[in-house]
Amino acid sequence: MSKALKIIGTILKVLTIITGVLFVIYFWNLDQKLMAWLYTVVNKIFDRKKADVRF
Domain ranges in the chain are 2-48
- Is the distance from CB of 24 to CB of 30 less than 8 angstroms? yes
pLDDT of residue 55: 77
- Which pLDDT does position 1 carry in this prediction? 82
User: Would you say 31 and 25 are in contact if contact means Cβ atoms under 8 Å apart?
Assistant: yes
Neighbouring C-alpha atoms within 13 Å toward the C-beta of 50: 2
Report how far apart the first and last C-alpha atoms of the chain are (Å, whole number): 73
**pLDDT (tens digit per residue) in 7-55:** 999 999 999 999 999 999 999 999 999 999 999 999 998 888 887 777 7
Model pTM? 0.67
Predicted pLDDT at 46: 86
Q: What is the pLDDT of residue 21?
A: 97
